Amino acid sequence: MIQQQEDGDRRLIACAPGCQSCCVVNVSITLLEGISITRFLRSLDSDLVAQITSRLDQLWRDVRGLDDEERLFARRKCAFLDDQGCCLIYPVRPIFCRSISSTDVELCRAAVTGPVFGELHPVMMHQFQLQLYKILFLGVADGLALAGLDGRSFQLCGLVRYLLNYPNREVELLTESSLSWDEIYP
């Protein structure tokens, strides 16, 4: 459950490097976000990319097909976190990760862990950011579809894992074809 922060001051964002409380949720991304993240990863040190790819493979085996609540219960951290809990893809992080932010660290942690114990706690956040996320995400998805491209949403780890493993598909996906679920769910 998301509640609006009464004070409209956007400087009250409690999220900080290393927090990672919400980095156990399903994150939906568009094809363009997946390509952007994959291109960014390819610019990093090859040993680091190999580590991330290995973590993506393991995470995908653990969470593919899980709904949001099941993913919370699994408590599997994002494959893009470093040893300090900081986001390795921060400059190109998904719209979802950019837009959903808490104004209260403790309430955020309680909201993420509460469902495991059958408890519901609100996440205090700015409604402006939530609305911006919805508009941006749907706008990009609609724009892709209007351009004849795949406008569906994908799970972050599944799509990026696929694109890292099949780099030649990127051009095809940007011009003419769409991904089948069989390709992502081998």
Q: What would the pLDDT profile of 50-109 be if each residue is shown by its tens digit?
A: 999 999 999 999 998 888 878 877 888 999 999 998 899 999 999 988 877 777 777 777
- Report the candidate in 160, 171, 181, 166 with the shortest Cα–Cα distance to residue 53: 160
Task: Write out the two tokens for 8.
Answer: 């409209």
DSSP-H helix ranges across 23-126: 31-42, 46-63, 68-74, 95-99, 105-113
More confident residue, 122 or 153: 153
- Report the candidate in 125, 117, 119, 83 with the shortest Cα–Cα distance to residue 100: 125
Per-residue pLDDT band for 6 (boundaries 50, 70, 90) equals very low
